[in-house]
Chains A and B, each alone.
Chain A
Amino acid sequence: MSQASQTGAAGVAAPAETTAAPPAADQAPVSPQPTSASPSIEAQTPAQRKMYTPQRLRLLSLGVVVAGLVIGLIGALTFAYLALSLSRAKADTAQLIRVQKIQSNLLSADATATNAFLVGGLEPPAQRAAYDQAMSSTSSLIAEAARAQPADGSALAALNQQVVNYAVAIEQARANNRQGLPVGAQYLRNASAELRADTLPILDNLVSANTARAADEMQAGAGYIVLILAVLALGAVIAAQIWLARTFKRTINVGMVASAAVLLLIVIGSLVAVLQLRGALNEISTGSLAAVNTAADTRIDANNAKSNESLTLIARGSGQAFEAAWKSSADSVTGNLARLSGKPELASQWQAYADVHTQIRELDDGGQWDKAVAKATGSGKDSSNTVFGTFDSNLASYLDGVSMDASNSLADEQPIMIVAAILVLLGGVAVALLGRWGVSERLKEYR
């Protein structure tokens, strides 16, 4: 019985142990219960029994030490692994946020470029500056992202190529527009169309890859290994204590009981740590991280809609496809905003922009294209740019806020896992030492 529980307690180290202690293994099949009244044992002389029990005690001592050390090491490794996973989840989340930022930057640049185009050959300096800012921030984010996640390398290289193509096409559009040539509008349309057809799919892949990576890292399941090992060891130590009590007619072996108590603490502690981590990760992924994804999607759709508003006006009477695209983006913005709890003002700010857009469409459809353009490109209080700008900058700062929350909450879990790793290591060593001491007290009787 003790033999069986020992191998169980040693867990992973069991095969090693059997080869390490050939005498024990050889004896095992022929050794029945020490205190049982089996005839073979009755036949043994007391001297023979005396030879047997110290061997068993040594084996028990070894078993407790191995079990304690295994729990300590595997436990420490597991919690260290969880801490590492958390830091990787944090890095993956940061990369996800970075990639989403590239996406909304590009669409914001496109919205600015198309809007400036409507004004004519001489674009407003402020809009030019906003476009340049969005593009240069895109470039540095791509470089940053490539450094942060080598697995994104080839996708980011392809993305970079697309961004360069886009910037070149926009410059050609600008140069032609400055000379008053309608082909400029075509370069702009092509650039916008390629941005949506070729560039955004790369970004979508980057977003989903990093979302999946972060989700994979945000798992607490590994922690159950410690729990299972500790429960098994606890069972074995209790069984050993019972055997000692029967063999030596002493009810309590202090070392063994203390060892069992430490194991119980490890069981409870790791259960608490794992459940706590699970709860926290669940809260992050359904809370701040979900908000990050929704807000990023909203910002992307909103800027997409703003670009399409300008493209509709640029196409002048042939822009139904762009207006349809505006509607579908706007619908998804409205849907997303409804899911962003705690930010009702964003919904009303978006509605204000949607109202301005409706006015622009009414003016344009009513044959007053010039007035529609003035409303779409002006910088007055109720112009499309101003109203949209309010919404977009508020959404951007909200996005920054929830991104920070997600990253901070992940960071908060890390020290807990590191402390757990250290404690379980110390606990394992304590189990080993206490158990060994407890057994050695009995071994002394044979000296």
Chain B
Amino acid sequence: MRLQWRRPLLALAAVASLSALSACTAFTYSPTPLPSEAPTQQPAPSAPASPAACRENPLASYAPGGPLPTPETLPNGSTMAKIQKRGRLVAGVSADTYLLGSRNPFTGEIEGFDIDMVKAVAKAIFGNENRYQLKVITAAQRIPALEKGDVDIVARNMTINCDRWKQIAFSSEYYRSGQKILVRKGSKANSLNDLDGQKVCAPIGTSSMDNLIKKAPKVIPVGADTHTGCLVLFQEGQVAAITGDDTVLAGLAAQDPYAVVPDQRAFTEEPYGLGFNEKDVDFVRFVNARLEEMRTDGEWTRIYDRWLRGSLGPAPKPPIPVYGRTR
């Protein structure tokens, strides 16, 4: 009897401890999983832009119709007269391209080389360079804004080319930019070929990236969303150099004392023009006359010196205007 009692009790204890044990293993949770690594974006050349067949020289604009009229003698019914009547010149600009058009966080004003171009036009219409209103637009908004008449003029580092001439009108070339490289201070590289095997950054989906892949196949291309994004990668030591228009690179170099744009020949040519609605031919002629004045009286050089000299060196000769376009 006693023996019979003890054994089931032992068995019970075994069952109890077994269930407790199994409960214990269930009491530790499996670890929380970590998200899997997202694949990093690999820059690839965008679809090659088919070079538009140009019947005319793309740089050719409408010739000025004689000397620049004064604000008091603007022709009646002209685009300029309408702008004067409205009281301000409306310009589409960039607010995040340092030195060309960017907001000064201390004053809140947007300023730069392109903005000074707007001021020069405002002065010719009103006699007062401050009679302008800026609309911040993206690169993609430049042409629609002109076509819809949201802005009178676009001054936003815009390259003159045949395709764009089909939709809008350009002034004569006001700045000759070109693609260059920006490197660390003390680097001996002054061309893309000196950077073989190293990482070079350009914004994804831009002609700068296409040129980088095409002209320097041995360089490791690294993409970012914008040029400023490239500067962040550069400062973090993730890339050795940045490539882009020299004006943009100047803006980057100005933000970092250890970033320099070495003396070099640009490997592309980017002629910048002011953009207009294609119907405002009278306005284009007027602005071309104003640009002519600025080239000869040294105002162009003063504007260049104010913004770009510090980063790009002494002012070159202003671009020579080309005319001869007819409607």
Contacts and interface: CB of A to CB of B under 8 A. Distances in A.
A114 to B, nearest CB: 14
A155 B16 contact: no
Contacts of A121: 105-106
A49 B12 CA distance: 32
B32 interface: yes
B31 A151 contact: yes
Contacts of B3: 20
Nearest to B135: A367
A215 interface: no
Interface residues of B, number: 52
B23 A81 contact: yes
B35 A316 contact: no
Interface string A152-192: 11110010000000000000000011001111011101100
A216 to B, nearest CB: 9
Contacts of B104: 180
A9 to B, nearest CB: 13
B137 A205 contact: no
B4 interface: yes
Given A58-B1, A120-B106, A182-B96, A197 B38 contact: yes
* A19, A176, A320 — most chain B CB neighbours (10 Å): A176
B27 A88 contact: yes
B228 interface: yes
B33 A155 contact: yes
Given A121-B105, A182-B98, A185-B96, A13 B11 contact: yes
A408 interface: no
A317 B95 contact: yes
Contacts of A316: 95-96, 103, 136
A197 B36 CA distance: 12
Mostly, the B contact residues are mixed
Contacts of B135: 317, 367
Nearest to B97: A182
B8 A66 contact: yes
A209 B33 CA distance: 8
Interface string A123-147: 0000000000000000000000000
B133 A186 contact: no
Contacts of B136: 316-318, 369
A147 to B, nearest CB: 15
A315 B255 CA distance: 18
Interface stretch (B55-63, B120-128, B215-223, B229-237): B229-237
B237 to A, nearest CB: 13
Interface string A286-329: 00000000000000000000000000000111101000000000
Interface string A55-94: 0001000100010011001100100010000001000000
Interface in B101-119: 102-106, 108
A55 to B, nearest CB: 11
A110 interface: no
B76 interface: no
A21 interface: yes
A182 B33 contact: no
Given A20-B4, A70-B12, A370-B108, A186 B31 contact: no
Interface in B1-33: 1, 3-5, 7-12, 15-16, 19-20, 23, 27-33
Contacts of B134: 367
B223 to A, nearest CB: 14
Given A158-B34, A316-B136, A62 B5 contact: yes
Contacts of B187: none
Contact of B35 (A151, A177, A202): A202
Contacts of B23: 81
Interface in B124-153: 133-138, 141
A16 B252 CA distance: 83
B138 A185 contact: no
A276 interface: no
Nearest to B35: A201
B7 A16 contact: yes
A163 to B, nearest CB: 15
B229 A186 contact: yes
A177 B105 contact: yes
A186 B32 contact: no
B232 A190 contact: yes
Contacts of B5: 62
A66 B10 CA distance: 11
Contact of A149 (B29, B138, B232): B29
Interface string A2-21: 00000000101101110111
A177 B35 CA distance: 32
Contacts of A198: 35, 38
A333 interface: no
B36 to A, nearest CB: 9
Nearest to A210: B32
B103 to A, nearest CB: 7
Interface string B37-58: 0100000000000000000000
A151 B32 CA distance: 6
A62 B8 contact: yes
Contacts of B9: 69
B106 to A, nearest CB: 6
Nearest to B30: A151
A77 B8 contact: no
Contact of B32 (A17, A81, A120, A205): A205
Contacts of B231: 183, 186
A17 to B, nearest CB: 6
15 contacts: A10-B8, A16-B11, A17-B11, A62-B5, A62-B8, A69-B9, A120-B106, A149-B29, A151-B30, A176-B255, A182-B102, A197-B38, A315-B96, A316-B103, A367-B134
Interface of A: 10, 12-13, 15-17, 19-21, 58, 62, 66, 69-70, 73-74, 77, 81, 88, 120-121, 149-155, 158, 176-177, 180-183, 185-187, 189-190, 197-198, 201-202, 204-206, 209-210, 213, 315-318, 320, 367, 369-370
Given A155-B33, A181-B98, 8 more contacts: A88-B27, A154-B34, A182-B228, A186-B229, A197-B38, A202-B34, A315-B96, A317-B136
